């Protein structure tokens, strides 16, 4: 197989692997695609002319396995695979640039190209490192799978991190979702890639495939058990009202449209609850109030009155808005408003979107991309819990919901996770659905319910075992409200106790073993040579 053939096959496999993510959910195509990608990077045959002619067939097989894989340029092959994967999974990244197409539309293709190419560098580095440390078919395949999982863990942390479209997320609609309560999303990524590597460890695909299928069956049953809501104690927190105004992004900041949008949210908030139902908390989405906090007092008072009419006396309101401090710094914030219309608590978003909410390194010509004046928002100081009418909540604002380790930055376990977002930036095809799936993973990782309220959808309550009731959510592109019962589990998961340390230690131990093995072989070869 030539380099061109290998690169093309890797790109196709990467693109097929991305079909495991929402809105497709084709895990049955994604998993074999990962297997093909690992094979073509770590095992794929070198060009035939590199092999001596006239050798017996079994010698040719052994020689092909032993060829120095750098001659096949595995780093470039893996990079093409990553470009295919991230290009398909992340194609929604062009949507924010099309909100104001006349100004920013020209950047859209460059954003996708640079994002896919940049993220694929992690895969390329994993391939180069794996072939340098491992020799032989089986070791190269397994080493690439493990190091690629390490690269995905690294991708979630360096330069503030961007763990979108982790390989683990292809299992969102299967019982393997339950595994993240034990392993976390990075741990399930490691398991996924190692299983995908098993068919490549032997020259005959069948033995590895059988082992992969058996292991898959075991993980299936174990994950299914973790998702069984009957096995864990539940506590009733009360009812929450989710308000989805469905405001198109290009209209959100138009002054003549603001009163209409506000009236819509107030009307939805004031609608009477079902007879006999007491709603304790009303939640509006991210930046629902377009006025800064120091000017929003009258609107917050109206929201409190509307909540008292619809939800009942004593109901609180939570909404997103922007806040400006005395030094002139802007924050993307969330506030809780009491029945008296006064702000009780405020939380400032800690994990900001690079190039969207702030400009790294204060690059002058990119200032127009920032979501606030100057070079964008300022990050909040700490991840902390807030008191609400339904208990202690961990607040997440949009982007913060994609980070598996974000909750560990809080000092204590919350009663539930509160996620407000504005997915109007993500388009209507894949971005909002992928964002929703990641919130489901956060719920299962910690066995906590997630109250998710989005401007344009999808607004829903995700149960503490990751389920979304499709009959009681507000779908994409619709306005409305739902009153949902919120229950939580006081039983923490194994992952919530250990975090990502176990998977990090496993990857580092395997890397250390590969490095020591390579060094020992080098010393032995040097001794024989002398």
**What is the three-class DSSP state of 192?**
helix
| Residue 12: both structure tokens together | 């196709």
H/E run at residue 502: helix 501-529
Q: What is the spatial distance between Cα 127 and Cα 41, in angstroms, rounded to a whole number? A: 7
Q: What is the spatial distance between Cα 256 and Cα 240, in angstroms, rounded to a whole number? A: 31
For helices 3-18 and 27-42, what crossing angle results, to 10°?
150
| Residue 373: both structure tokens together | 């004046």
For helices 205-226 and 180-197, what crossing angle results, to 10°?
170
Q: What is the spatial distance between Cα 405 and Cα 60, in angstroms, rounded to a whole number? A: 47
Catalytic residue among 95, 152, 286, 316: 286
CA 49, distance to chain mean position in Å, is: 44
Contact status, residue 262 vs residue 298, Cβ threshold 8 Å: no
Contact status, residue 389 vs residue 316, Cβ threshold 8 Å: yes
| Residue 21: both structure tokens together | 């993510």
Catalytic residue among 349, 357, 400, 445: 349
Catalytic residue among 152, 316, 357, 398: 398
Q: What is the spatial distance between Cα 338 and Cα 315, in angstroms, rounded to a whole number? A: 7
**How many residues does this entry show for the chain?**
530
Q: What is the spatial distance between Cα 122 and Cα 117, in angstroms, rounded to a whole number? A: 10
481: closest CA among 317, 305, 322, 344?
Answer: 317
HEC assignment per residue over 82-98: HHHHHHHHCHHHHHHHH
- Output Rg (C-alpha) for the chain, integer angstroms: 25
Q: What angle do CA 147, 151, 152 make, to 5 degrees?
A: 120
What is the C-alpha end-to-end distance of the chain, expressed in Å? 36
398 is catalytic: yes
Contact status, residue 14 vs residue 80, Cβ threshold 8 Å: yes
349 is catalytic: yes
Contact status, residue 405 vs residue 79, Cβ threshold 8 Å: no
235 is catalytic: no
DSSP string, 371-411: SSSTTBPPPPS----EEETTEEEEEEEGGGGG-TTGGGGSS
Residues with catalytic roles: 286, 349, 398
């Amino acid at each position: 197989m030539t380099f061109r053939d290998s690169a093309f096959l890797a790109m196709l496999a990467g693109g097929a692997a991305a079909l495991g993510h929402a809105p497709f959910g084709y895990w049955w195509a994604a998993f074999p695609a990962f297997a093909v990608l690992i094979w073509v990077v770590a095992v794929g045959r070198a060009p035939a002319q590199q092999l001596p002619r006239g050798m017996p067939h079994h010698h040719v097989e052994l020689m092909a396995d032993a060829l120095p894989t750098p001659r096949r340029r595995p780093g470039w092959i893996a990079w093409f695979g990553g470009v295919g994967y991230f290009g398909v999974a992340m194609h929604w990244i062009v949507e924010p640039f099309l909100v104001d197409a006349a100004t920013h539309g020209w950047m859209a293709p460059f954003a996708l190209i640079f994002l896919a190419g940049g993220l694929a560098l992690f895969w390329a580095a994993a391939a180069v490192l794996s072939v340098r440390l491992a020799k032989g078919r089986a070791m190269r395949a397994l080493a690439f799978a493990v190091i690629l999982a390490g690269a995905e863990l690294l991708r979630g942390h360096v330069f503030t991190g961007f763990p979108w479209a982790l390989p683990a997320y292809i299992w969102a609609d299967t019982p393997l979702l339950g595994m993240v309560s034990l392993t976390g999303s990075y741990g399930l990524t490691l398991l996924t890639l190692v299983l995908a590597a098993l068919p490549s460890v032997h020259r005959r695909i069948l033995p590895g495939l059988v082992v992969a299928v058996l292991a898959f069956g075991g993980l299936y049953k174990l994950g299914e058990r973790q998702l069984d809501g009957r096995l864990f104690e539940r506590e009733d927190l009360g009812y929450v009202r989710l308000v989805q105004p469905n405001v198109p992004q290009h209209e959100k900041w138009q002054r003549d449209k603001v009163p209409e949008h506000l009236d819509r949210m107030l009307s939805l908030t004031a609608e009477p609850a079902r007879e006999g139902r007491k709603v304790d908390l009303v939640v509006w989405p991210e930046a629902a109030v377009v006025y800064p906090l120091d000017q929003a007092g009258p609107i917050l008072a109206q929201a409190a009155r509307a909540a008292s009419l619809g939800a009942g006396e004593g109901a609180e309101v939570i909404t997103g808005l922007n806040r400006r401090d005395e030094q002139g710094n802007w924050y993307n914030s969330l506030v809780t408003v009491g029945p008296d219309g006064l702000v009780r608590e405020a939380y400032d978003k800690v994990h900001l979107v690079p190039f969207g909410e702030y400009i790294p390194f204060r690059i002058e010509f990119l200032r127009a991309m920032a979501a606030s004046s100057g070079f964008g928002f300022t990050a909040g100081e700490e991840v902390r819990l807030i008191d609400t009418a339904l208990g202690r909540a961990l607040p997440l604002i949009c982007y913060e919901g994609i980070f598996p380790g974000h909750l560990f930055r809080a000092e204590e376990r919350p009663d539930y996770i509160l996620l407000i977002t504005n997915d109007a930036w993500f388009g209507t095809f894949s971005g909002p659905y992928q964002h929703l799936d990641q919130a489901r993973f956060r719920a299962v990782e910690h066995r906590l319910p997630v109250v998710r309220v989005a401007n344009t959808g999808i607004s829903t309550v995700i149960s503490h075992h990751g389920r979304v009731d499709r009959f009681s959510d507000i779908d994409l592109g619709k306005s409305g409200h739902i009153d949902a019962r919120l229950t939580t589990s006081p039983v923490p998961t194994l992952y919530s106790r250990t975090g990502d340390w176990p998977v990090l230690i496993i990857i580092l131990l395997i890397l250390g073993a590969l490095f020591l093995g390579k060094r020992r072989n080098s010393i032995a070869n040097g001794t024989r040579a002398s």
